[in-house]
Chain A
Amino acid sequence: MATGIKDKVAIIGMGCTRFGERWDCGVEELVVEAFSEALSDANIDRQAIEMAWLGLFFQEQSAGKSALPLSMALRLPNIPVTRVENMCATGTEALRGAVYAVAAGACDVALALGVEKLKDTGYGGLPERSKGTFDDLWLPNATAPGAFAQLASAYSARHKCNPADLKRAMAHISVKSHANGALNPKAHLRRPITEDQAINAPMIAAPLGLYDCCGVSDGAACAIVTSVEKAREMGIKDMVTVKALQLAPSNGLEMSNNAWDGSYLLTTRIAAERAYKEAGIKNPRRELDMTEVHDCFSVTELVVMEDLGLAEEGGAIEAVLDGRFDRDGEVPCQIDGGLKCFGHPIGASGLRMAYELYLQLLGRAGDRQLSSPSLGLTHNLGGHPFRNVASVSVLGLHA
């Protein structure tokens, strides 16, 4: 009988670059910057790393295919490197590969690194791409904001809420994330904004305005993992372990069938349920100390609070406006500034979220430090609400 991943693997080192318009560097420099921090944090010899996973999404625009961008940038000693891609869940997917390899006993120490270099494309959003030769014949040429904006219209219709209240809650989410990002030297956007600014910003895809959308940036983040036994042998006392790693991709139901009403994220609910089971979490709102969720758009974060069980169904607007997810709230969300302030270098984002939980758990988050958190959650949603890949991970201090 499988027992899941809980408390089998420890994260012993993490690194994260400054995210932003990194005109100063390319993929190689980003990889080395994140890796160097993680290696000195782990305090191990680089030769101890036996396997690696590379998360990279836009290979055409950023670093090229295969293991090579990582293996060559780090001059790894020909160890196995696997490149993974699972849309916005790519970074978390890289971590899953490394964690599972250690748990399986295939190696003692593994590396997961996610990187994306997007600003060289010269485009503000994510580069456009074909969805496949058949889909291009009939699907609308939707943008990411347009696909996620529809969550707002369906949510308002389902819960019969006033769209103005929803817009104000969305503004609160962005104001909160900017306030958090302003405290983070590694964030891309570090300026606080006001609710008025958010509400009155130019429309991108109704009802999402400019400040309802996260940016796109360059960045890399990485983790070095080993078994709990090995970490103990290394003398690590405050140990961050993986409590759950779950993944749920769509199977087409949302896009082809009326069983889904468009107001929530089906796969997030499934991934969260599995993750809570794997981690032994019964009451997420009470047990989780913090979350880093996929706030590609403000409205995504709002519905995800319900999908993760941190707000009652139909109650997210009130919970958000009450400050439940603010830095001083009951379950702080995006303590590092989130995608909103870090931007979204796809391959790096999942590991960037894990990096913040890791710092918070070890009491190393500086001005953003929460008071003694012991359990946190990361969430990614790759694709669009009607067809996507959701990942949920839970990290915590080892008891």
Chain B
Amino acid sequence: RTALSAFYRKRRDITSMLGGRCRECNTLQFPRSLLCVKCSASDTQEPESLSQLTGRVKSFTEDWLAYTPSPPYIYGNVEFPDGANVMLEFTDFRPGELSVGDSVRLAFRVKDFDTKRHFHRYFWKPAPLHAPSED
């Protein structure tokens, strides 16, 4: 169920993957929060998008239990420069293709279809750094 009011409040954070960089300790984080995750300083985060950064796969799984139109559901923790870590759903990887330590870029993709409200949820997904060659 999509809470449209929640999406409206956070539309920039979600659509641009806008995190926050703490002015006190320079830590980048997503989502942006009122208190810094690293130094707890209050109201110090400048908005900064993570969408164009290169990430590194820290952990992942190929999940055969979770619902997805195209199993397995592959997701895991991805680290970004300056301290950021985000758990994300991978895209354009087939089972067996992903490894810890891989570099990834972010691609803006459909995350979910809310068929009852005719609403498409979009978010950023880690994809292979280089697009696979056509075969």
Residues of A within 8 A of B (CB): 125, 130, 133-134, 136-143, 145-147, 149-151, 153-154, 156-157, 202-206, 208, 251-263, 386
Contact = CB atoms under 8 A, between A and B. Distances in A.
Contact of A386 (B2, B3, B72, B77): B77
Contacts of B65: 125, 143, 145-146, 204-205
A97 B61 CA distance: 37
B93 interface: no
Contact of B63 (A149, A154, A251): A149
B38 interface: yes
Interface in B73-122: 73, 75-77, 79, 83-89, 95, 100-101, 111-112, 121
Given A140-B87, A253-B37, A260-B85, A154 B100 contact: yes
Contacts, number: 133
Given A146-B73, A256-B37, A134 B10 contact: yes
Given A133-B6, A258-B83, A149 B14 contact: no
A254 B85 CA distance: 8
A258 B56 CA distance: 11
B3 to A, nearest CB: 4
A145 B1 contact: no
Nearest to B38: A257
Residue among B3, B27, B65, B89 with max Cβ neighbours from chain A (10 Å): B65
A344 to B, nearest CB: 15
A255 to B, nearest CB: 6
B78 to A, nearest CB: 10
A202 B62 CA distance: 13
Contact of A205 (B1, B64, B68): B64
Given A257-B27, A260-B85, A150 B76 contact: yes
Contacts of A260: 85
Nearest to B124: A138
A207 B22 CA distance: 37
Contacts of B5: 133
A143 B66 CA distance: 6
A139 B85 CA distance: 12
Contact of B83 (A150, A202, A259): A259
Contact of B86 (A130, A141, A256): A256
Given A141-B73, A386-B77, A146 B66 contact: yes
A132 to B, nearest CB: 8
B26 to A, nearest CB: 12
A-B pairs, top 6 by smallest CB distance, nearest first, are: A146-B63, A150-B59, A133-B3, A133-B6, A149-B61, A140-B75
21 contacts: A125-B65, A130-B1, A136-B3, A137-B14, A137-B121, A143-B66, A145-B61, A146-B73, A146-B75, A153-B76, A157-B59, A203-B64, A206-B63, A208-B61, A252-B37, A255-B85, A255-B87, A258-B58, A258-B79, A262-B58, A262-B77
Contacts of B2: 136-137
A150 B61 contact: yes
B41 to A, nearest CB: 14
Contacts of B100: 153-154, 156-157
Contact of A257 (B59, B83, B111): B83
A150 to B, nearest CB: 4
A195 B38 CA distance: 43
B133 to A, nearest CB: 26
